[in-house]
Amino acid sequence: MTQRIAVLGATGSIGDSTLAILAAQPQHYEVYALSGYHRLDKLFTLCQQFLPKRVSVPMAAVDEFAQRLSTAGLDIEVVAGEAGLIDIATDTQTDTVVAAIVGAAGLPSTLAAARAGKRILLANKEALVMAGQVMIDAVKTHNATLLPLDSEHNAIFQCLPLEIQQDNTQIHRSEYGVRKLWLTASGGPFLQHSFEKMQQASVAEAVKHPNWSMGQKISVDSATMMNKGLELIEACHLFDLSENKINVVIHPQSIIHSMVEYSDGSFLAQLGSPDMKTPIAHALSYPNRIDSGAQPLDLYALSGLEFIEPDLQKFACLRLARQAMQAGTHATIVLNAANEVAVAAFLKNQIRLTDIARINEQALNEIQAPSLNATADIEDILAIDTIARGYTDKLVLELA
């Protein structure tokens, strides 16, 4: 039977990699629905190529986009805005939701997919950073399946025994012997540069990642290592561990995508070319395997693999992520919101790259967000997100 897939964030980098696999495997997958936001010409081309049944666009674009499809003779239903994304994510015809919208904008549809019991392929790490416990509870209560696309988390998932893959709380059973998780980080484009050089970084330099080709926001996050901080929080939720059980190591070659350390001294690692098609194909076909189209790793061409301890002075965002995780979900929501605002300001040339960590730290230390209790839901999360964005906007204005 073919799996019907909804790709939310189809016009982005993860969307590209996902659709390349789906295009090559039509016998297994049907592209049921797509979404885009700014790049609507690209979305239109994807509609022509994949002929989905449904497509979601921003509210303001719905009439024009529907007209364009109909003029082209394409019978595709157009839905709009957050409600449209949720509609697609919960559609009874949707089997699998690829959650590839960037930032907090992806949370409502991802959570809705969990509550509708879908198979979720999660790229949108911000959803877990903001709503980790709520998301994980929703997955369990509604029998959804959550498979990580983030290459590090996908690597760890692959290195864990089946019992833990199926139920993350099993990670605490001593017979499985999981001692620590090791997240690898490339160190980004400024690994070899001084803090002073980083201060002067242009947008073009910051988004030029040495190993991975990604969207702008995550590329900036990689340059500040906030990405690894967000991934640390993501890993805590996905694998039911506290932050002190998760180490970060810089591995500039991005060949080992992460590791699990076991009590007998074994380290299990997943290796591959730095190409998101591998983790996406893994999650699409799990527990089977398909051809991802990624270049196989050429082991003879590898000259050496390095491992370096991160400098938490230079990459303060990584330290802030641990601080936020220790403080609780209210703090991880604040950190994520502040970072989204600060990264957007950097991309508009309003602040320097190194201001991002300063702003994030100030927001984290100064915003008095209420702790969330066990019954907290998405409204409570979004309320803190809104407060943090308002506060951070002011911090940006002071610096700009």
Binding site for Mg ion (CB under 5 A): 150-152
Distances (CA, A) of 170 to 105, 177, 302: 31, 11, 36
Q: Which residues contact 189 (CB under 8 A, 6 or more apart)?
A: 201, 205, 206, 208, 209, 210, 222, 223
Q: Fill in the per-residue mask, 228 to 267: x = in contact with ligand NDP (CB under 6 A), - = not in contact.
A: ----------------------------------------
Q: Work out which of 105, 290, 312, 378 binds ligand NDP, going by CB under 6 A.
A: 105
# of chain residues touching ligand NDP (CB under 6 A) = 27
Shortest Cβ 383–Mg ion spacing (Å) = 28
Q: How far apart are CA 398 and CA 101, in angstroms?
A: 30
Q: Where are the extended beta strands (E) located within the chain?
A: 3-8, 29-35, 54-57, 77-80, 96-99, 119-122, 145-148, 178-185, 246-250, 256-262, 267-271
Residue 126 vs 385, nearer CB to ligand NDP: 126
**Do the Cβ atoms of 328 and 372 come closer than 8 Å?**
yes
**Closer residue to ligand NDP (CB): 101 or 191:** 101
Instruction: Check residue 36 for interaction with ligand NDP (CB under 6 A).
Output: yes
Nearer to Mg ion, 14 or 88 (CB): 14
For residue 326, the tally of other CB atoms under 10 A from its CB is 12
> Hey, which residues does 302 pair with through a beta bridge?
none
The CA distance from 318 to 69, in Å, is 45
Per-residue contact string for residues 269-308; x = within reach of ligand NDP by CB under 6 A: -------x--------------------------------
Q: Which of 2, 38, 200, 366 binds ligand NDP (CB under 6 A)?
A: 38
Rg (CA), the chain: 20
Binding test (CB under 6 A) with ligand NDP, winner from 5, 6, 14, 113: 14
Footprint on this chain of ligand NDP (rule: CB under 6 A): 9-15, 36-39, 100-102, 105, 123-126, 150, 212, 214-218, 276
